[in-house]
Amino acid sequence: MARVTEQAPKSAEPARWVVGITGASGAIYGITLCRQLLAAGFHLHLVITDAGWRVLKEELGWDAARRVECLNTAFDSALSENRMTYHPLNDIGASIASGSFRCAGMVIIPCSMGSLSAIANGASTNLLTRAADVMLKEGRPLLLVPRETPLHAIHLENMLKLARLGVRMIPAMPAFYNGPQSIEDIVSFLVGKVMDSMGIEHNLYKRWGQSNG
């Protein structure tokens, strides 16, 4: 008779998310999501494209020449305290480039049409698109927050192609039924919708039918 050995129970999915920020307008969406994930206790693996750094400079006043300092300032020393890992865009040998690296999934927020096109066509030309390709091949959650207007047929076809592969499309389209009073409220709504799709609890916006109490 074959010997039956006990197997150790499977461990829970690592509390790690990969976040990508690209050169689309709306860098504040990505920064806000990162802050929320860190506050919720997740370890964050962050990759930012060169165009993403340019947008951070233009929209939020970040100094792209002092990247580590900017990240530590924005995220309360999470980088130096090892609560967050920053991966340079060209580090194709980084942990997140391998399917053996376990994580809960990846969000690209905001996602430019260029990055979206590369992912849709399997062009792993940098660490961000390679990490997204890993999510697809490993069957892990991949969420994209495209930010562009107007959209032409190629944009739409690329989104449809990815959606049919199970990629979650969450375009940066804020709602107004919750009565936003500030830009922060608008940003919080969109980030909250992203976290809903990630399955993470939050209180970033008032839901439809939710009382004020």
Q: Which residues are annotated as a binding site for FMN?
A: 23-25, 49, 112-115, 147
Residue with tokens 């940098």: 126
Q: Residues comprising the binding site?
A: 23-25, 49, 112-115, 147, 177, 193
Amino acid identity at 163: A
Closest alpha carbon to 168 in 190, 197, 135, 131: 197
Q: Residues comprising the binding site for dimethylallyl phosphate?
A: 177, 193
